[in-house]
Amino acid sequence: MKYFLSVIFILYIAGCNSDKVKPTVDLSLKAGELPTQESWNSEIFFSDSGKTKAILFAGHLRVYERSQETLLDKNIKVEFFNRNQKIASTVTAKRGRVNDATKDLYAIDSVVAVSDSGTVVKTEELMFRNKDQKIVSDKFVTIVSPKETIKGYGFESDQGLRNYVIYNITYVARTDSTK
């Protein structure tokens, strides 16, 4: 037992005298480029006067206060609600961003918007413009509704995808729903 305690004491002393390992510091990172907040599997509720206007789901979000933007990725989804608190439309995309100053939401990459009436909009980039509550895009858009299929460049709609306009139409096909 005496020898055992002696060995333990010697190892303790030897451990105290060894050089401490200092962590390396990555000086290439700047504090202003790091997010001020970060979250995974998030749900953000947007409401007005106690009524839910939209819910944003994001697999990963990063808030940058200095540039006033929030970056979203890992498959985002936004559900827009009507006056009766029912989902009017849903927008999905691989990634997106929010301009925190204007509250405009940008859905980017493989964007699909679906309304409760069955209208589907596909494009590579879509913006929800907060000031007038419109969904807009200046990219190529395909709209498939129960009545027609329209393709073209430039798009504007209400958030329920009921009243929409394509500015530069390249293709139109009407669906005969009476058959």
Q: What is the pLDDT of residue 4?
A: 66
pLDDT computed for residue 32 by the predictor: 65
- Tens digits of per-residue pLDDT, 102-149? 999 999 999 999 999 999 999 999 999 999 989 999 999 999 999 899
The answer to whether position 43 is within a domain reads yes
User: Residue 119 maps to which CATH number?
Assistant: 2.60.450.10
Residue 18 located in a structural domain: no
**Residue 108 domain-assigned (yes or no):** yes
Domain count, the chain: 1
Q: Give the C-alpha separation, 178 to 171, whole Å.
A: 22
Percentage of the chain beyond pLDDT 70 is 84
Residue at 7 is within a domain: no
Within its chain, how far is the Cα of 76 from the centroid? 4
SS3 160: coil
Neighbours of 79 (CB within 10 A): 17
**Distance between CA atoms of residues 145 and 160, nearest Å:** 13
In a domain, 4, yes or no: no
Tell me if 1 is assigned to some domain: no
Outline where DSSP puts E strands in 18-174.
37-48, 51-64, 69-73, 76-81, 87-93, 95-99, 104-115, 120-129, 134-144, 148-158, 164-174
In this prediction, residue 48 carries a pLDDT of 84
User: What is the spatial distance between Cα 139 and Cα 22, in angstroms, rounded to a whole number?
Assistant: 51
Report if residue 52 sits inside a domain: yes
Structural domain boundaries enclosing 169? 34-174
User: Quick check: is 53 in a domain?
Assistant: yes
Which residues, at least 6 apart from 84, have a Cβ–Cβ distance to it below 8 Å?
A: none
pLDDT band at 70; cut points 50, 70, 90: very high
